[in-house]
């Protein structure tokens, strides 16, 4: 059957489909995931955004963790030791909180083999995030 909308509409449909497939294939869509406490323990880092080391005793060590202004621009780095916890519970954690550096909760995504965590930075209306991957 012939597409009556013309070649531009048909071409646009193909571009939208290609972008959707590429987005899914590269994991650009954030798909929430839950992690058990044992899966959170370890080192999480990404490029120049710093490192969080979650220990099974409930302590967390931040090393050069990026801090952001309301525009979502990196303005400084934070290092220190604090506590962490998972919620809603240790078996099905959707987020983790820390008492070191910025207190925004981190949420989980990624695959079981390659989990990621992110937190909102700057003005929440801007949709900027800091993302870390588990090493």
Residue range 25-63, pLDDT digits in tens = 334 577 889 999 999 999 999 988 999 999 999 999 999
Q: Find out whether 88 and 72 touch, Cβ atoms under 8 Å.
A: no
Residue 115 above 60 pLDDT? yes
Q: What is the pTM of this model?
A: 0.76
CB 33 within 8 A of CB 108: yes
Using the predicted structure, report yes or no on whether residue 9 has a pLDDT greater than 90. Answer: no
Check whether 16 has a pLDDT greater than 50.
Answer: no
Closest by Cα among 91, 135, 87, 127 to 110:
135
Q: Are the C-beta atoms of residues 50 and 66 closer than 8 Å to each other?
A: yes
Residue 15 has pLDDT above 60, yes or no: no
pLDDT of 5: 65
Rounded-to-integer distance, Cα 3 and Cα 11, Å: 11
Structure tokens at 29: 């869509």
């Amino acid at each position: 059957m012939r597409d009556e909308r013309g070649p531009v509409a048909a071409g646009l449909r193909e571009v939208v489909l290609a972008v959707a497939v590429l987005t899914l294939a590269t994991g650009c869509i954030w798909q929430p995931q839950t992690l058990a406490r044992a899966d959170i323990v370890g080192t999480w880092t990404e490029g120049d955004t710093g490192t969080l080391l979650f220990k099974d005793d409930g302590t967390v060590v931040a090393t050069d963790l990026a801090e952001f202004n309301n525009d979502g621009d990196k303005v400084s780095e934070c290092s220190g030791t604090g506590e962490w916890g998972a919620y809603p519970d240790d078996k099905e954690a959707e987020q983790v909180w820390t008492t070191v550096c910025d207190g925004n909760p981190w949420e989980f995504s990624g695959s079981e083999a390659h989990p990621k965590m992110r937190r909102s930075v700057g003005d929440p209306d801007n949709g900027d995030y800091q993302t870390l991957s588990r090493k």
